[in-house]
Amino acid sequence: MWEVEFLSFLSEQSIAELENAYQTIRDFLQSHSKQASLEKLQKIIEFLEGKRNLALQEVLSIQEDLSRLKEIQKKMTFSLHDSSNSPYPYTQKLLLLARSKAKYVENQPLTATEVAALSNTTLPNIILLANKGLLKGKKKGKEWHFPKESVKEYLEKVGKAKV
């Protein structure tokens, strides 16, 4: 299925992404405690209520801190089904491959995205093959689903039969 070198590279990059994510979070939390963030937010509320004066620079600084926290949260909750904006593309690819292989091994239908991952081809190619009837599957809404046997035949044709 996948070359050992590619899986090794993908694994190394995924580990690096995860380590970097934890380090970023650790660094942020060490310099921005929950209590400090709540106090900063309270300053903004008091400023808006007219109970406190804040300079523009202070407001912008607080906004930056809270925006950074929100961005970290967003990065940690990325969708496994939408790789277009993934902050962790290697981890995303690794997880997609694992999910695809597990569904294949457990004889569950695979989506076009999962077949594309296993065959190392593009999603448009899989959809084109399905539309032409060269890859047997069923379309449910906008998504194609392929039985294991159909996927197995296709993988054998493209020389990726080692799943």
Which among 19, 44, 77 is the end of a domain? 77
Query: Does residue 162 fall inside a structural domain?
Result: no
Q: Are residues 112 and 132 in the same domain?
A: yes
32/64 same-domain check = yes
Distance CA 7, CA 142 (A): 30
10-residue block means of pLDDT along the chain (163 residues)?
A: 75 89 86 88 91 91 86 67 62 86 93 92 94 93 94 88 63
Same domain, 66 and 123: no
Sole residue written with tokens 């926290």: 69
Whether residues 66 and 131 share a domain: the answer is no
Q: Supply the range of the domain harboring residue 55.
A: 4-77
**Which residue, 77, 108, 129, sits at the end of a domain?**
77
Q: What is the pLDDT of residue 54?
A: 87
The reply to whether 9 and 72 lie within a common domain is yes
Instruction: Determine the distance from the C-alpha atom of residue 63 to the mean position of all C-alpha atoms in its chain, rounded to a whole number.
Output: 26
**Is 20 in the same domain as 73?**
yes
Could you tell me if 9 and 73 lie in one domain? yes
Sign of the CA dihedral 25, 8, 126, 144?
negative
Residues 73 and 93 both lie in one domain: no
pTM of the prediction?
0.63
Structure tokens at 53: 């004066």
pLDDT at 37: 87
| Judgement on whether residues 100 and 142 belong to the same structural domain of the protein | yes
User: Which tokens hold the place of 128?
Assistant: 């084109």
Q: Is 151 within a domain?
A: yes
pLDDT value at position 80? 46
For the chain, how many structural domains are there in total?
2
| Residue 17 forms part of a structural domain | yes
